Amino acid sequence: MTVNEQFFSIVIMTASGIFIGAVIDATRIFTSAISPKSLLRKFSWILEIVIWALLGVASFYIIFLIKGGEWRLVDPLSQILGIFLYESFLQPFFRFLGRVFIVLVIRPIVAIITMTIKLVRGIIRMLIRIIAVLFRPFYKLFIKIKRPFYRKIANFKRAIFKKH
């Protein structure tokens, strides 16, 4: 392996360390923003362990792609360097990008979905009210017809279940 390839692998592993730091930070921010009563918040440590495991598998896959599976001590050291770089210098920038992403992408999508749900609910309520208005005369007629029969049935029930 040439010096150029070694430098390239160190840069890639440092970048993967920065990515790992960003993913773990985003996961912690996400789980802390969830309601304390949420099941996901209560078991957030399991989620973090799963994410750490997936990131470890992804790191070994990167090593496999770049070096053909040769693992050297410089690889985890460069990843730790990337995590420290993220924590020291890049965390405010990535958090700013996350807030911008939420404001420009997530909130409009959520607003469109909630507006669509409210629109569909309003249309369904309007249709139900129209149907109720159309059937109101028939309902009143049904009540007038049903009352004499209901009284006979109620009297029959009293006769059967009468206390002696």
Q: Output the pLDDT for position 164.
A: 54
Phi-psi region of 90 (alpha: psi -120 to 50; beta: other; left: phi over 0): alpha
Dig out the tokens for 30 from the structure.
Answer: 């996400």
Q: Output the pLDDT for position 126.
A: 96
Q: Output the pLDDT for position 63.
A: 86
Q: What is the pTM of this model?
A: 0.66
How far apart are the C-alpha atoms of 149 and 152, rounded to whole Å? 5
Residue 48 confidence class, pLDDT cut points 50, 70, 90: very high
How far apart are the C-alpha atoms of 136 and 151, rounded to whole Å? 23
Q: What is the pLDDT of residues 55-67, one digit of tens each?
A: 999 988 988 888 8
